[in-house]
Amino acid sequence: MKAHYGYKDGAGDFFIVIDTDKCIDCEGRDCVPACPEG
């Protein structure tokens, strides 16, 4: 699944796409502790 996040304001357009299927295949799940909550 791909999650899309973004917004537009006076400074421009800001968008990211996260491919959650790649997270499932990550054996060490190193990205989970590296990302801060909130």
Which pLDDT score, from 0 to 100, does residue 19 have? 81
pTM score, whole prediction: 0.43
Which pLDDT score, from 0 to 100, does residue 20 have? 78
CA–chain centroid gap for 16, Å, is: 7
Alpha-carbon distance values, 37 to 11, 16, 21, 32, 33 (Å): 26, 17, 20, 10, 9
Which residue spans within 1-38 are E strands per DSSP? 2-9, 12-19
Nearest Cα residue to 19 out of 32, 33, 4, 29: 4
Q: What is the mean pLDDT of each run of 10 residues along the chain (38 residues)?
A: 90 88 70 64
Contact status, residue 17 vs residue 4, Cβ threshold 8 Å: yes
Which pLDDT score, from 0 to 100, does residue 32 have? 67
